[in-house]
């Protein structure tokens, strides 16, 4: 039988109202929101359901909010008998994946990502760092452009998202130079992103040091099912491996395309994006259109996904 993977989104998937429908209709989801509010001592629920775009855009808010919605959606899926063979998460989403896999307690994970967001906001002065999406050029071409643009500054491929999309990160001036070179080199689009810090590059070294202390103090259990890590695009099942991957992840590129291809190589044919938005679904279509791509962010998408998984599995059984 073909296998199933859960994919958990990272930053930029947030929107006001996310998770409200799940919390209203499913006690399992509501319990996660209540747990988030208690763990952080403020209303994460209010932030998700009614927060303004500006509030949700603050990295220290974005990270716990997306984690909460993603874990709530995963709990409802599992309550309905849908359990994955593999999990993976894009950057922040790796924390959601580890909660789903039973390696991290939710109350631990939400405190970790709240701190992670604060550390990231504090690491680089506003305006000094930037990120940009480059569309329509091969990842190797983007890497060459970054080398040309760097000068004495930092700019590197930070998210290797798909054959068509690479996100770069580094000093603002170097990122701007890379965007100009990419545009001249035939990129379909090269655009600076509205983010509060230059993630996944060496400018995040102060974050790595601070977060490492938090991660070493946190309890990581062995995983119920394998996680494909961002840093290596390889499966892990041990708690210590999960912790080490999260430490390395801060400054290392997110190898998302490689992660998806690794799961496909392991016979995953159904992917479910679990949490707000459909960013990862869009990337999946750019990587391989032959696999099924579903999502769960509210009761409607949940019902549709449960039905489509059952249908796909009955078709496979008959084949």
CATH number reported for the structural domain that contains residue 217 in this entry: 3.40.366.10
- Confidence at residue 2, expressed as pLDDT on a 0 to 100 scale: 84
Instruction: Decide if pLDDT at 231 tops 90.
Output: yes
Catalytic position from the list 70, 200, 259, 301: 200
DSSP 101-129: TTSS-HHHHHHHHHHHHHHHHHHS-TTTE
Q: DSSP assignment, residue 11?
A: T
Same domain assignment for residues 237 and 295: yes
- Least trusted range by pLDDT, from 136-140, 252-256, 274-278, 311-315: 311-315
The mean predicted confidence, pLDDT, of the chain is: 96
> Is pTM beyond 0.95 here?
yes
For residue range 159-197, what is the model confidence (pLDDT) as tens digits? 999 999 999 999 999 999 999 999 999 999 999 997 888
- Confidence at residue 242, expressed as pLDDT on a 0 to 100 scale: 98
Same domain assignment for residues 25 and 114: yes
Same domain assignment for residues 89 and 149: no
**Exposure of 217 in the CB half-sphere (CA atoms within 13 A):** 8
Same domain assignment for residues 212 and 94: yes
- Confidence at residue 226, expressed as pLDDT on a 0 to 100 scale: 98
Q: DSSP assignment, residue 134?
A: E
Same domain assignment for residues 141 and 269: no
Same domain assignment for residues 148 and 269: no
Same domain assignment for residues 114 and 139: no
In the chain, DSSP finds a helix count (H) and a strand count (E) of 14, 10
Same domain assignment for residues 50 and 146: no
Provide the number of structural domains found in the chain. Answer: 2
Pick the last residue of a domain from 195, 212, 228.
195
User: Degrees (nearest 5) of the Cα angle 214, 127, 189?
Assistant: 100
- Name the percent of the chain lying above pLDDT 90: 93
Instruction: Decide if pLDDT at 319 tops 70.
Output: no
Confidence of residue 238 (pLDDT cuts 50, 70, 90): very high
Same domain assignment for residues 104 and 12: yes
- Confidence at residue 188, expressed as pLDDT on a 0 to 100 scale: 97
The domain in which residue 35 lies consists of 3-123+203-318
Crossing angle (nearest 10°) for helices 239-249 and 205-217: 160
- Confidence at residue 301, expressed as pLDDT on a 0 to 100 scale: 98
Instruction: Decide if pLDDT at 1 tops 80.
Output: no
- Confidence at residue 107, expressed as pLDDT on a 0 to 100 scale: 98
Catalytic position from the list 13, 91, 103, 196: 91
Same domain assignment for residues 31 and 85: yes
Same domain assignment for residues 32 and 167: no
Q: DSSP assignment, residue 277?
A: S
- pLDDT (mean) for 115-134: 94
- Confidence at residue 194, expressed as pLDDT on a 0 to 100 scale: 79
Question: Beta strands 268-274 and 292-296: pairing type?
Answer: parallel
Whether 13 is a known active-site residue: answer: no
Pick the last residue of a domain from 195, 211, 227.
195
- Confidence at residue 227, expressed as pLDDT on a 0 to 100 scale: 98
For residue range 58-92, what is the model confidence (pLDDT) as tens digits? 999 999 999 999 999 999 999 999 999 999 999 99
Whether 200 is a known active-site residue: answer: yes
CATH number reported for the structural domain that contains residue 143 in this entry: 3.30.70.250
Pick the last residue of a domain from 172, 195, 218.
195
Same domain assignment for residues 116 and 208: yes
Quote the distance between the C-alpha of residue 215 and its chain's center. Answer: 18
Radius of gyration of the chain (CA): 19
- Name the percent of the chain lying above pLDDT 70: 100
Please tell me the distance from the alpha carbon of residue 100 to that of residue 75, in angstroms, as a whole number: 8
């Amino acid at each position: 039988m073909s296998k199933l993977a859960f994919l958990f989104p990272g930053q930029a998937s947030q929107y006001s109202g996310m998770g409200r429908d799940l919390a209203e209709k499913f006690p399992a989801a509501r319990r996660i929101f209540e747990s988030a509010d208690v763990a952080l001592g403020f209303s994460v629920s209010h932030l998700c359901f009614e927060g303004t775009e500006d509030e949700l855009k603050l990295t220290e808010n974005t990270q716990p909010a997306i984690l909460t919605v993603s874990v709530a959606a995963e709990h409802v899926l599992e309550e309905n008998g849908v359990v994955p063979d593999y999990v993976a998460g894009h950057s922040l989403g790796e924390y959601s994946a580890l909660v789903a896999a039973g390696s991290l307690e939710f109350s631990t994970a939400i405190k970790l990502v709240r701190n992670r967001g604060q550390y990231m906001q504090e690491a680089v002065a506003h305006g000094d760092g930037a990120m940009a999406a480059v569309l329509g050029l091969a990842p190797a071409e983007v890497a060459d452009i970054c080398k040309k643009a760097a000068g004495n500054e930092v700019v590197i491929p930070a998210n290797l998202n798909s054959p068509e999309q690479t996100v770069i990160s580094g000093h603002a001036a170097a990122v701007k130079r890379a965007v100009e070179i990419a545009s001249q080199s035939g990129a379909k689009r090269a655009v600076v992103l509205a983010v509060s810090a230059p993630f996944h590059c060496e400018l995040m070294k102060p974050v790595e040091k601070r977060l490492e202390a938090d991660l070493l103090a946190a309890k990581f259990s062995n995983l119920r099912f394998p996680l494909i890590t961002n840093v290596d695009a390889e499966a892990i099942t041990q708690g210590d491996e999960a912790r080490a991957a999260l430490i390395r992840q801060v400054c290392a590129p997110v190898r998302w395309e490689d992660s998806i291809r690794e799961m496909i190589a392991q016979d995953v044919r159904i992917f479910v994006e679990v949490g707000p938005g459909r960013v990862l679904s869009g990337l999946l279509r750019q990587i391989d259109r032959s696999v099924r791509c579903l999502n769960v962010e509210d009761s409607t998408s949940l019902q549709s996904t449960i039905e489509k998984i059952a249908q796909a599995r009955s078709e496979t059984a008959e084949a």
